[in-house]
Amino acid sequence: MERLNSIDQIPERFLEINYRDIKEVFESPTLIRLKGDKEPALFISILLHGNEFSGLQIMQEILKKYQVDGSYDLPRTLWLFVGNVEAASLGLRRQDNELDFNRAWPGTPHPEAPTAQLIAEVMEKITENGLFAALDLHNNTGKNPPYGCISIVNEKNKYLSSFFNHIGMVFHTPKGVSTMAFDEICPAITLECSTPGNPLGIEKAVALIDDLMHMEHFPDKALPEHDLQLVYNSAVLKIAEGVTFGFEEEQGEFELTLTNNFDRHNFTRLEKGEVFAHTTIDKPIIATLENGTDITDDILINENGALSLKKPLMPAMITLDKRIILQDCLCYLLEEYREKR
Ligand SMILES: [Zn+2]
């Protein structure tokens, strides 16, 4: 099992290093505690997915900002967990033979896995004296705006989401994700900082972290409703097995052809009846709920080969990379989250 490296200072070189060279400063997953003026501490995890390197750049920017004469003058105590350094050095999300670092937190179906045991050690250390908030920094593929993901809808989590962007996502699966492990402990959010290195995602995350460093407490007033649009994942769209597919702007004959600039639909409402693809077969796309239930006939309509939705939904996580589409999915369909009052 990989050993957790636990330290209370930052090597100077960490501030400049490229994620692919991270093992030159940390040979194994590393938990750093930096003492600051205020308690309780802010917990931030980066590189749980090795190739999502914005988190590293964000923390380099934050640390540089508070560096004074070779040490750090932080307004609040900070825990920083640098996760899958091995995968980062290989430029991968994770290694094939290990449990995903973001499926290994308390609640994981695989608590016996070495990664889960390492994470349990992290949890034990960071929760000893309470936490102000927990942030997990990620990237995704495709033209997605930066957005936060929260698993519990309460005022503090809504505040975290709204400060990052005007749109936030509510999620409850898969099990073992970092943010869910903090449900009973402190406000917690996953920051999806757009594609790796995306400047807007970095800028927004830096601003949020800086704010949390200085805040005495979360605002007491409820968040105005129009400050945040919360959505949840209502369905996943996958290409049916064996179906040939392509994009309108491409040469070739496909059983499924997605309209021009398909990714322009990302995070915008796709109206009922708005055609987004053409097909020569009956069911080229399968829609399922998160639990796998097939709901294709409930939400998709195929009218003489023109595909559209039966109700307005918001596609997200669209990628134009055919390899990712086949491995993962074509896109998610989001629906507005309504709180029960
Ligand atoms: Zn990730």
CA of 140 to the centre of ligand 1 (A): 7
Residue 116's pLDDT is 97
In a domain, 298, yes or no: yes
Specify whether 269 is located in the same domain as 141: no
Q: Are residues 327 and 309 in the same domain?
A: yes
User: With a cut of 50, which residues of the chain have pLDDT below it?
Assistant: 341
User: Which residue from 63, 53, 45 is spatially nearest to 22, judged by alpha carbons?
Assistant: 53
| 150 & 253 share domain | no
Expressed in angstroms and rounded, the spacing between residue 37 Cα and the centre of ligand 1 is 31
Cα 274 to averaged position of ligand 1 atoms, centre (Å): 31
For ligand 1, a single-atom ion, the residues with CB < 5 A are 49, 52, 138
Q: What's the gap in Å between 53 CA and the centre of ligand 1?
A: 10
User: Could you tell me if residue 341 is inside a domain?
Assistant: no
For 204, the domain range is: 5-227
- pLDDT tens-digit readout, 174-194: 899 999 999 999 999 999 999
Å from CA of 212 to ligand 1 middle:
22
Based on the domain organization, do 152 and 301 belong to the same domain?
A: no
Q: Are residues 122 and 198 in the same domain?
A: yes
Do 135 and 158 belong to one domain? yes
- C-alpha 52 – ligand 1 centre gap (Å): 6
For residues 140 and 201, state if they share a domain. yes
- 305 CA to centre of ligand 1 in angstroms: 36
DSSP-assigned letters across all residues of 224-278? PGGG-EEEEEEEEEEEPTT--EEETTS-S--SEEEPTTGGGGTTSPBPBT---EE
Domain final residue pick, 198, 227, 256 = 227
- pLDDT at position 338 is 84
Which residue, 227, 245, 274, sits at the end of a domain?
A: 227
**Same domain as 29, residue 176:** yes
Domain end among 167, 194, 227: 227
Residue 43's pLDDT is 98
Is 202 strand, coil or helix?
helix
The rounded Å distance from CA 48 to ligand 1 centre is 7
- pLDDT computed for residue 3 by the predictor: 86
283 Cα–ligand 1 center, Å = 31
Query: What local confidence, expressed as pLDDT, does residue 283 receive?
Result: 96
As for how many domains the chain has, the answer is 2
Q: Measured in angstroms, how far is the CA atom of residue 268 from the centroid of ligand 1? A: 22
